[in-house]
Amino acid sequence: MIHAEQQTLDLEQDDRVETIVVGLRYTGNRSTVAPRRPRDAGGWPGRGTFQAGPVTEVNDEGRIVEREDGPIQIGVIPDWIDGDTVEGGTLPGLEQLSDFEVIYDPAELCAAILEENYLPPSVFGGPQTAPDYAVREAVFDALDLPDKLGTAPGGEKAIREALAERAGMDVELEEPPDVSRETEYTNEYTRSDLYNACDALGVDVEWSDARKTEMAKDLATYPPGDVRDALNGEYDDGSDE
């Protein structure tokens, strides 16, 4: 998730705040920490808990001595504020937190978004969701992403490819699920229809706990023709040949 607070964005429109997009990760020894100190000291907009990384060293008494750094969260934070009219923390406050690391490198931030395997709608929009254009502009500028990158058909794949290129990641990206087909299967077919189609295609589901939306999501990863045949009871996997 990419964090931002509307009040900060509104103050920036009034030229009373200048923002910057940064990543923040916890580098201490506790398994989790609340965001209170980053919020107070640095104007961090997120309210989610920070996670630590895996344990790498334990002392003779079984106490944790060292962990890997935790995952990166991304936020639009105040870099400068008009101290006469605005109160709150800014970027230097984050930098002074000894058990947190501020990340500026666009490549690392792009990699962090890809590792989450989730494109925040506030930045990238969605099939039925417009982005928050102030947040989008800030993030796109910080990551140097093409302005016209969007969520038209095939848009999610294009976004992931752009992030991977910016991150310098030489990886084969998974094809994103076809959301329009998910919606079609969910709305146009019964739970039984979807279950029978999953069964025909070899999807591992149990009737007792098979969720309709999850089955539709699974079916959207299969070729449309095969799914159509399975939904119509006509799918042949060739096993009898």
Write the pLDDT tens digit of every residue in 35-83: 999 999 999 999 999 999 999 988 888 888 899 999 999 999 999 999 9
**pLDDT of res. 241:** 45
**pLDDT of res. 225:** 82
Ranges of each domain in the chain = 2-167, 179-231
pLDDT digits (tens, 9 = 90+) for 7-44: 999 999 999 999 999 999 999 999 999 999 999 999 99
Show Cβ contacts of residue 235 under 8 Å, excluding neighbours closer than 6 positions: 197, 200, 201, 226, 229
The highest-confidence range among 104-118, 121-135, 149-163, 167-181, by mean pLDDT, is 104-118
pLDDT digits (tens, 9 = 90+) for 120-134: 888 988 766 788 999
Handedness of CA 211, 213, 215, 218 (dihedral sign): negative
The mean pLDDT value for 92-102 works out to 97
CA 188 to mean position of chain CA atoms: 29
Helices (H), 14-64: 36-42
Average per-residue pLDDT for the chain: 88
Tally of CB atoms within 10 A around 229: 17
**pLDDT of res. 75:** 97
Confidence band, pLDDT 50/70/90 cuts, at residue 220? confident
Work out whether strand 73-81 and strand 2-3 pair parallel, antiparallel, or are unpaired: parallel
> Angle between the 133-143 and 106-116 helix axes, to the nearest 10 degrees?
120
Kindly report whether the global pTM for this prediction surpasses the value 0.75: no
Q: How many helices (H) and strands (E) does the chain have?
A: 11, 8
> Angle between the 191-201 and 212-219 helix axes, to the nearest 10 degrees?
40
Which of 230, 229, 227 has its CA nearest to residue 217? 227
